[in-house]
Amino acid sequence: MAEEPYHDKLFDHEYDGIREYDNPMPAWWVWMFVLSALFAFPYVLWYHIGNGPSILDALEAEQAAYAEKLLATYGDLSVDEPTILRMMEDENAMLAMKGLFKGKCSQCHLADGSGSVGPNLTDDHWKNVKGVTDIAEVIRTGITTKGMPAWGDQFTETQLVLVSSYVAHLRENPLPGKAPEGDPIPAWPAASAAGIDENAGE
């Protein structure tokens, strides 16, 4: 490092016997500052204002992919009340269905289920549903005259169980979304109270 004449020139001021040099910042430091400042503009535009995925999105996608793999281990589930209630308590299944719901259902029910075109699925009011098997039936056959598509062709029976469990479990976290439609219905029966064990529903 060659000494420049400018180096080590002292400022006039002095505080408590401490004096400081008037040296310029090192070039590498200045460049780092300039480059970070320039980097910040597209970063903010893309990740905060534009479509850039947030850390949470990335985490969610990874969790969903992992859960999807686990799903393959469930075997064939049958579409009945005990199975739907039991799968509501399976966190991996709920995680996997969160992604599926976001992909296929959020267009009308919003990603959190609070409703837009379709009803709010998180409240206690339901139009076509009295029990969890009705959820599966609505999803399978749709209510095509009212804008709810039929999904029977797109889901396996196992998927149908899990989507139904996911929809049923949305009620555990009621959201003030679309105003209630239909009639209030009682809480789903507890899986344990219904005497459901691991082998139920086969």
Instruction: Using the minimum distance from each CB to ligand HEC, give the nearer residue, 74 or 151.
Output: 151
Residue 89, classified by CB atoms within 10 Å of its CB into exposed (0-12), middle (13-18) or buried (19+), is middle
CA dihedral sign of residues 164, 170, 171, 176:
negative
Residues 156-195 that bind ligand HEC (CB under 6 A): 163, 167, 182
Of 103, 185, 188, 119, which is closest to residue 151 (Cα–Cα)? 103
Among 151, 152, 174, 200, binds ligand HEC (CB under 6 A): 151
Instruction: Using the minimum distance from each CB to ligand HEC, give the nearer residue, 92 or 122.
Output: 122
Applying CB under 6 A, the site for ligand HEC has a residue count of: 25
Residues 92-111 that bind ligand HEC (CB under 6 A): 104-105, 107-109
- As a whole number of angstroms, the distance between CA 76 and CA 68 comes to 15
Residue corresponding to tokens 């949305």: 170
- As a whole number of angstroms, the distance between CA 45 and CA 6 comes to 40
Instruction: Using the minimum distance from each CB to ligand HEC, give the nearer residue, 19 or 146.
Output: 146
Residues that bind ligand HEC (CB under 6 A): 104-105, 107-109, 117-119, 121, 126-129, 135, 138-139, 143, 146-149, 151, 163, 167, 182
